[in-house]
Chains A and B, each alone.
Chain A
Amino acid sequence: MTEPDRATSDDRALVRVRGLTTVLNGKTIFDAMDLDIPRGKITAIMGPSGTGKTTLLKHITGQMRGDAGEVWVDGASVPALDREQLFALRERIGYLFQNSALLTDFDVFENVAFPLRQHTSLPEVLIRNIVLTKLQAVGLRGAAGLMPNELSGGMARRVALARAIVFDPMLILYDEPFVGLDPIALNQVLKLIRTLNQTLGITSVLVAHELAVIQQVADHIYLIANGKVVAHGDPRTIAGDGSPWTRQFFGGEADGPVPFQYPAGDYAQALGFPRSGA
């Protein structure tokens, strides 16, 4: 269960990453990585800080291009898309930024309404209803008139979440949606993610560190480190699959294969995981 399912067919995988290699400032972020995100499921991506989770999401949305390899989203090769096609694709993807990235010029309502206003010419009443529904879902309908600088970190995350889902896209990428949320809000957001997935069939990708939370929602977990997928599988079983990666990562042990200060290759080889990816 450590190899990604290479046999996954196109219609089952909404996102397919093959042999993705990316070098940033001389540092290898991805080293021939393979990964599949199944359609209509909730997939969690975990990994140590700085390992490239956010970068992976940026590859999927075409904000970044790899040095080699392929990224397919819904049958389209993302690096090959021109600007128009890329924008057309992004209209169908919701993206929750790790730092919220709300537009500071607009109040909460307008922030959530922004994608609707830009891409549709819906009547004002309809926009209002949609936006208020989404804000209600994240528990912030009452904060519609506040400006982003008047929000707490957790509130800003929830507004950003509402904005990411306002279009009911085919794919939502959540970059650490649970950061800064209190247990109540966290539960609500969790429920929201699950509801969106179950009722609308929206494929979701969750980048998060909270294993206990992820185990409640995710259908599948990828653990990435050193530019590769080092483990993947069912959330309830992955922690106990016996590999040193999962043992260290989910056990929170200081010692293990996850690199903190040393070049990745040395460590991996020393521990007997000389993986070439292909």
Chain B
Amino acid sequence: MRRMSPDNIVLRSLAQIGDCGLFLVAVLKAIPRSLQHARETVRQIWFIGALSLTIIMVCGLFVGMVLALQLYHVLSIFGGTAATGEVVALSVYRELGPVLTALLFAGRAGTSITAEIGLMRATDQIAAMEMMAVDPLAYVAAPRFLAGLIAMPLLTCVFCAATLLGSHLVGVHWLGVDNGTFWSNMITAVDLRTDVVDGILWKSVVFGAMVSLIAVFQGYTTPPTSEGVAYATTRTVVASSIAILALDFMLTAFLM
């Protein structure tokens, strides 16, 4: 199954991307079959989605607080502190929310997916499933992929809401921006389609698919050794981070 990997790092990366693409096709094909394991998908949403809530909320809160602080000081030069809420919302909805959530998700959930699948392979659990006539693509890979796809937009929404809360705390309660101005400027400036749908939703769905695909792929194809699992986990973080930022640029260029 495993190919001889070329020496050249560029070729090796290209080969990985190609394998990853083929793997995506296999996972997509397994999705209909994975529906009979819907319970497993639910369990995975719990593990990689719900259990990521804390880190997402805490980070979102602090990002919102620091953004409000920074923006307030820059905007106060122009006497535009009333725009604090609006600028926080726009930057978080369009860029920071989806990107930071995806990066956190890669670190929190992506690594655990890779390590888990890698260990399942190393301890013959994947083979055991095959032997019990359970397709691991449908039982292991697809539910985690789907769970990532579903959890990421929801987590991004929670992250964005936490950011607003954080920026409201700092902007309104601490720095004294008027509450009504804070919200009304935001409401006027933020657009449902370009900011919430194209920003939060589209981006986070794409990032969710990307990160969970990379995580599952790395776990699934890692050599079944402890060193192999360790490398695969690292690769998940590196590859997803690069993919997230590169994709973010492309999505921004196409969507906006």
Contact = CB atoms under 8 A, between A and B. Distances in A.
Are A and B direct contacts in the complex by CB distance below 8 Å? yes
Interface of A: 61, 63, 83, 87-88, 90-91, 93, 95, 97, 99, 101-104, 114-115, 118-119, 163
B131 interface: yes
A103 B129 CA distance: 9
B124 interface: yes
Contact of B135 (A87, A91, A102, A103): A87
Contacts of A87: 133, 135
Given A101-B125, A104-B125, A61 B132 contact: no
A97 B131 CA distance: 9
Contacts of A115: 132-134
A101 B133 contact: no
A63 B124 CA distance: 12
Interface string B118-150: 011001110111111111000100000000000
B127 A63 contact: yes
Contacts of A61: 131
A119 B119 CA distance: 25
A119 B131 CA distance: 13
B134 A118 contact: yes
A240 B124 CA distance: 38
A72 to B, nearest CB: 19
A101 B130 contact: no
A118 B132 contact: yes
B135 A101 contact: no
A26 B120 CA distance: 28
Interface of B: 37, 119-120, 123-125, 127-135, 139
Top 6 nearest A-B pairs by Cβ distance? A101-B128, A101-B124, A87-B133, A90-B133, A95-B131, A91-B133
A245 to B, nearest CB: 30
A97 B128 CA distance: 7
A95 B119 CA distance: 20
Nearest to A95: B131
B123 A114 contact: no
A103 B125 contact: yes
A17 B122 CA distance: 29
Given A97-B124, A118-B37, A118-B133, 4 more contacts: A61-B131, A90-B131, A93-B131, A103-B120
Nearest to A62: B130
B128 A103 contact: yes
A88 B135 CA distance: 12
Contacts of B127: 63, 97, 101
A184 to B, nearest CB: 27
Contacts of B119: 104
B124 A119 contact: no
A104 B120 CA distance: 8
Given A97-B128, A101-B128, A103-B128, A119 B123 contact: no
Contacts of A93: 131
B39 to A, nearest CB: 9
A124 to B, nearest CB: 13
Contacts of A104: 119-120, 123, 125
Contacts of A95: 128, 131-132
A114 B125 contact: no
A103 B119 CA distance: 11
Nearest to B135: A87
A234 B93 CA distance: 76
Contacts of B139: 118
Nearest to B36: A118
A58 to B, nearest CB: 9
B38 to A, nearest CB: 12
A163 B121 CA distance: 19
A86 to B, nearest CB: 8
A106 to B, nearest CB: 10
A260 B45 CA distance: 51
A35 B130 CA distance: 24
Contacts of B134: 114-115, 118
A223 B131 CA distance: 25
Contacts of B131: 61, 63, 90, 93, 95, 97
Nearest to A121: B36
Contacts of B128: 95, 97, 101-103
B133 A88 contact: yes
Contact of B123 (A91, A101, A118): A101
A180 to B, nearest CB: 16
Nearest to A89: B133
A83 B134 CA distance: 11
6 contacts: A90-B133, A101-B123, A101-B127, A104-B119, A104-B120, A163-B132
